Amino acid sequence: MTKKIQKQPIIYPIGATVVLQCPVESDTTMFVEWFRHNEPVDEIGKYKITTRGFLRFKNAAAEDSGIYVCKAINGFGFTKANVTIAVLRQSELISMKTFDDNRYPRDPLFGADLPPAEAIQMVRNIEKDSGKCITLKCNMPTVPVQKTSWLKDGEPIDVSSLPVGSQINFSAMFLSKLRPEDSGLYVCIAYTEYGQRKTSFAVKVRESKFSKPELIVSQPVKSPIKVGDTVTFQCKVESQNKPHIRWLKQCDEKSLQNLKREPVTIDGERYISLNSYDVHQNGVYKNILKIKNVQPHDSGKYICLAANTRGYSYKSVQLLVSVPEEQKEAIRTSDHFSIAFICVMIVITLVILTVCFILYLIAKASTANENCSEEHLRKSCQKSTVPNEYTYNDHVSQWLCKNHGHPGFVQIESSSHNDSAKTHVTAITL
């Protein structure tokens, strides 16, 4: 392992994010530990050691200034190195000057000479979501720049390791479609005949807030499933935002004909949505489907479908309801009885309809005969002739015609007493 000697402290402004690299190089795998005041740094609290061994913490304060010790360990042993930082206020940064005689102002914290202003390492913190783009621009000095170089985490940048579409030119670097592995400390170094100026960028690429949900489906433990059992399917979804979860059952041709709504088509197969309920606990989303008193027609393919704004995922389970032999026989007997009952009901219905039709015909014929007799009687009464010796009385004859079927004849005898006339019915001839 090779240890680099740090000549000057690293300057950070108050509130910056500090990223410290252990100044030790090794050709083999190396593990890094960090200490301050001879005590290991607390990774649970303010400090964090990255997978690459960098010490990182946010919101730097003046009391964070001082010496940090890194311990680099590989298969051949270990070595220690000091990293010194100074966290300064803005007014202190502005007051720093470059002297022509190259004499640097004394730092009261460490008693060491500070580098000239153009060599001060200013760190800019940048946080972006994965998939986004950023442009890092060098803080170029006013004097002519001979060349520039870019480092990432202290190492020259290999262009082939950058995201597709990224570019590096003389004074800027463009990173396209950021990935989490693009996080790190980027440094642009501008070289002049008087020295160098560094511009640092602490880039953090956040994982996308939204990704396709991951599913874990649990099936019923009990096997086989029998008629009348209660079956529970549970679908656990891991998602960074709330997903929409549904249980669906694959449709057969018979069930499709009875559907009152359009089925859901997934990968060429049609499904019907089922009633289920959600449970959310500790960032895990669950959806539970419970089927009570399962029957043979409940057998089939079920899927748990989870969707969010990034896409959807699903997993399928198969349900097979086992029917015991005695239940099969009972079902067959019940089916035979149902068929016989339906046949009997059809015969009874046909008999009732036939009887009703015959009664209708009889009633219709009787009504026709009565109408015919009344017409014949009316005509007979109109054609009857009254003999001369009788006087025909319309009112009496009509009554006879109605009650005896013949108009009859009424003989009238008249008498006169005291100039008053009286009429008597003396005979009725039928």
Q: Within 62-204, where are the H helices?
A: 90-95
For residues 1 and 116, state if they share a domain.
yes
Residue type, 111: G
For residues 3 and 64, state if they share a domain.
yes
* Single pTM value for the model: 0.34
Total count of residues recorded for the chain:
430
Domain with 234 in it: 214-322
Residue type, 421: A
Task: Evaluate whether 86 touches 65 at the Cβ level (below 8 Å).
Answer: yes
For residues 105 and 2, state if they share a domain.
yes
For residues 154 and 197, state if they share a domain.
yes
H/E element holding 379? helix 325-383
CA pair distance 91, 29, nearest whole angstrom: 42
Residues 6+ apart with CB under 8 A from 167: 173, 174
CATH code: domain of residue 230: 2.60.40.10
Q: Within 131-275, where are the H helices?
A: 253-257
For residues 21 and 108, state if they share a domain.
yes
Nearest to 200 by CA among 178, 173, 168: 173
Cα within 13 Å of Cα(121), Cβ side = 23
For residues 116 and 142, state if they share a domain.
no
For residues 3 and 103, state if they share a domain.
yes
Nearest to 17 by CA among 113, 127, 153: 127
- Residue where a domain stops, chosen among 322, 338, 371: 322
Partners of 34 in the β-ladder: 70
The pair of structure tokens assigned to 55 is: 């010490």
pLDDT score for 104? 39
Task: Evaluate whether 119 touches 191 at the Cβ level (below 8 Å).
Answer: no
For residues 284 and 261, state if they share a domain.
yes
Q: Within 35-139, where are the H helices?
A: 90-95
For residues 195 and 287, state if they share a domain.
no
pLDDT score for 173? 92
- Count of domains in the chain? 5
pLDDT score for 390? 43
The pair of structure tokens assigned to 333 is: 């007997």
Which pLDDT tens digits describe the chain residue by residue (430 residues)? 555 555 578 888 888 889 998 888 766 677 888 998 888 886 657 888 888 889 999 899 988 988 999 988 876 677 888 899 988 887 777 655 433 333 334 443 333 344 443 333 446 788 888 888 999 988 887 778 889 999 998 889 988 888 888 999 888 999 988 888 899 899 898 888 777 888 888 898 887 655 566 667 766 656 678 888 888 888 888 766 678 888 888 887 777 777 666 788 888 888 888 888 888 776 678 888 898 998 888 888 998 888 876 677 888 888 888 877 666 666 566 667 778 888 889 999 999 999 998 988 888 887 776 665 556 555 555 555 444 444 445 555 555 555 554 454 444 444 444 444 444 444 444 4
CA pair distance 314, 246, nearest whole angstrom: 10
Give the SS3 label for residue 345. helix
> For 181, which DSSP code?
G
CA angle 3, 7, 37 (to 5 degrees): 75
CA pair distance 37, 69, nearest whole angstrom: 9
For residues 196 and 251, state if they share a domain.
no
For residues 18 and 6, state if they share a domain.
yes
For residues 132 and 93, state if they share a domain.
no
- Residue where a domain stops, chosen among 208, 241, 274: 208
